[in-house]
Amino acid sequence: MARIRQFLGLACAALVTASPVLTSPLERRQTIDFQSTGNPILADGSYYSGDPAPIVVNNTVYILSGRDQAGATENNFGINQWQIFESDSPSPSGGQWTLHANVAQPQTVFSWARSGTAFAAQIVQGGNGKFYLYAPVTQSTTGSADPFAIGVAVSDNVLGPYTDAHPSGPIISQSVPSPGNNIQNIDPTVLVDDDGRVYIYFGTFGQLLAYELETDMVTIKSTSVTRVTSLTGFFEAPWLMKRKGTYYMLYAGNNAGPDSPCTPTSYHACIAYGTASSPLGPWTYRGIVLDIVSSTTSHPGVFTRDGGDTYYLVYHTRDATGGTHFRRSVALDELEFNDGTSPPIIKKVTQTHRPGGAAEPTRNIAPRAKAVSANTTPIQYWVEAIHDARVEANPLPPDYWSSYAAERSPQSNTLTYTWNATVELNGVAMAFFADQPAGSNIGVPPPASWRVEYLNSAGQWTAVSLTGSGGYPTAATNSPPEVSFQTVSTTALRAILTASGGNGQFGGIGVKEWFAYAPTTS
């Protein structure tokens, strides 16, 4: 389950068979046929889907996912059931798909599991032809510090129904196999190797463990655990695969930092990978497969059809209608290898999107600018958020820029927009984030004041001439009033923000969106 650390559009699918939204985890299974026109596969917001795991059976791809059911402003996972997307003609540009909704629920498959927490699972076909569902769920009763455990269910059909293949309890938890572990046991990935041997990896929060399984697909072969520490930035969501004798481990990477090859914030994950010459390693980090996407989390899966050498990466984004970081949707793109290297490396995947409709005319030209923070932006925030055309009602830190620093927040902050060509501007607005009242010197209150300047033709920063009487409003609102000024021609605009507080201690400043208005729409 690709999760985030907690801090101290047009629809691409037309439903052919209508179905009500499932609200209860006990509602019946449903089948929905739809035509996709690109990524994400199902983009109309009727069903959200996270943590995809593909399997190919008779040249048909089945993508298992959890169903995201969080509310529109809820910053928490609500995943109560697994569902499966099916297609015999999968393509990044679209195709015909069938969604099998409500395929399984934790508490109905595993008698020892609680309801909900249908986190990242994988279906694998065993040597006996049966299908095995490896699922992280929470135990209803446990003496362990963390209740997550990995169970295994089995079916004669990839679409189920699935029954517990190990009714006595999970095959992996903090207490089994003995001596157990102290990690959160989620995100299993399983590989049946060419010689029939079976391997399982799992883990999160930088911990990646592995065992070999017996060919019965449920019994831990040896209690000697393999701990992987060589995959740079490993956070969670491992995906184990093999191609032409080389083992590949794809995963959600989160090695945040100013020079990180992966992600600009501690919340955004990319997809990275490593290789090995044997299934249990040792593993060598190789690079990034997919840069950050619109969702803070990321989760890889890879498939190829009919034994061919055309591979696809499946992952999730928040790009569907009404999508959020907790209402994600499955996407897929082609994944290519460079066989001229040894071992063959994975080329970085180019993310594709379904065709969009014509953009609505707007005076706001901030999205066309390059955004820069003159101050060092604390790693949990993201300066790109100030002109992404989104004002979140309940944002996560990467959904807004902030100057807040636990050690000492600065008194003065500067944000700058730069355009590639001269633009005309006659107004701005700022949607501020705040979690403290005005005047506070802790947390993130509204700023004490702010103003904007433009770069004149002589290359000098010059104050704009306001035409209204409202000045620069500082209230935290998602619909900020426009600050109008005499039209200027410029290539750059900067906002100088002064934090509230005093006596050497200041609150942080948070900006959800900084609008830059041209005199006319375009």
pLDDT in tens, 67-78: 999 999 999 999
Indicate if 339 and 464 belong to the same structural domain.
no
Give the model confidence (pLDDT) of 447-481 as tens digits.
999 999 999 999 999 999 999 888 999 999 999 99
When pLDDT is averaged across residues 157-163 and rounded to a whole number, the result is: 98
Average pLDDT over all residues of the chain: 93
pLDDT of 2 above 70: no
331 part of a folded domain: yes
What CATH number does the domain containing 442 carry?
2.60.120.260
Residue pair 50/331 in contact by the 8 Å Cβ criterion: no
Indicate if 108 and 224 belong to the same structural domain.
yes
pLDDT of 14 above 50: no
Of 298, 317, 346, the position where a domain reaches its end is: 346
pLDDT of 183 above 50: yes
pLDDT of 17 above 70: no
Query: Distance (Å, rounded) from C-alpha 491 to C-alpha 460?
Result: 11
Give the model confidence (pLDDT) of 116-152 as tens digits.
999 999 999 999 999 999 999 999 999 999 999 999 9
The distance in angstroms from the start CA to the end CA of the chain is 42
pLDDT of 22 above 60: no
At 503, is the secondary structure helix, strand, or coil? coil
Indicate if 449 and 486 belong to the same structural domain.
yes
Per-residue pLDDT band at 43 (split at 50, 70, 90):
very high
Strand residues in 70-125 grouped as ranges (E) = 79-87, 95-104, 122-125
In terms of residue numbers, what domain contains 208?
A: 13-20+31-346
Q: Which two tokens stand for residue 367?
A: 């999205």
Residue pair 422/489 in contact by the 8 Å Cβ criterion: yes
63 part of a folded domain: yes
Q: Is the pTM of this model over 0.85?
A: yes
pLDDT at 10: 23
Query: Distance (Å, rounded) from C-alpha 324 to C-alpha 9?
Result: 13
Per-residue pLDDT band at 306 (split at 50, 70, 90):
confident
Indicate if 337 and 401 belong to the same structural domain.
no
Per-residue pLDDT band at 26 (split at 50, 70, 90):
very low
pLDDT > 70: percent of the chain? 95
Indicate if 416 and 464 belong to the same structural domain.
yes
pLDDT at 139: 98
Number of domains in the chain: 2
pLDDT at 11: 25
When pLDDT is averaged across residues 24-32 and rounded to a whole number, the result is: 70
What CATH number does the domain containing 313 carry?
2.115.10.20
351 part of a folded domain: no
Burial (CB < 10 A; 0-12, 13-18, 19+), residue 473, is middle
Q: Which two tokens stand for residue 35?
A: 């035509």
Per-residue pLDDT band at 27 (split at 50, 70, 90):
low
Burial code (b: 16+ CB inside 10 Å, e: under 16) for 371-407 equals bebebebbbbbbbebbbbeebbeebbbbbbbbbbbee
Q: Which two tokens stand for residue 441?
A: 């010197």
Indicate if 457 and 336 belong to the same structural domain.
no
Burial (CB < 10 A; 0-12, 13-18, 19+), residue 312, is buried
Indicate if 203 and 272 belong to the same structural domain.
yes
Residue type, 264: P
Indicate if 319 and 444 belong to the same structural domain.
no
301 part of a folded domain: yes
Cα separation values, 270 from 26, 69, 158, 234, 354, Å: 34, 23, 29, 10, 21
pLDDT of 255 above 90: no
Indicate if 424 and 339 belong to the same structural domain.
no
**Positions marked active-site:** 51, 236
| Reduced 3-state DSSP string for 173-190 | CCCCCCCCCCCCCCCCEE
Which of these, 275, 239, 274, 271, lies nearest to 255 by C-alpha position? 271
134 part of a folded domain: yes
8 part of a folded domain: no
Contacting residues for 430 by C-beta, under 8 A, at least 6 apart:
450, 480, 495, 511, 513, 514, 515
Cα separation values, 437 from 305, 414, 442, Å: 57, 22, 9
Per-residue pLDDT band at 321 (split at 50, 70, 90):
very high
Indicate if 422 and 281 belong to the same structural domain.
no
When pLDDT is averaged across residues 5-29 and rounded to a whole number, the result is: 36
Give the model confidence (pLDDT) of 379-437 as tens digits.
999 999 999 999 999 999 999 999 999 889 999 999 999 999 999 999 999 999 999 99
Indicate if 458 and 497 belong to the same structural domain.
yes
Q: Indicate the Cα dihedral angle 151, 156, 34, 348, nearest 10°.
A: 60
5 part of a folded domain: no
Query: Distance (Å, rounded) from C-alpha 42 to C-alpha 332?
Result: 11
Residues in the chain: 522
173 part of a folded domain: yes
Q: Cα 317 to the chain's mean position, in Å?
A: 6
pLDDT of 7 above 80: no
Indicate if 300 and 413 belong to the same structural domain.
no
Of 317, 346, 375, the position where a domain reaches its end is: 346
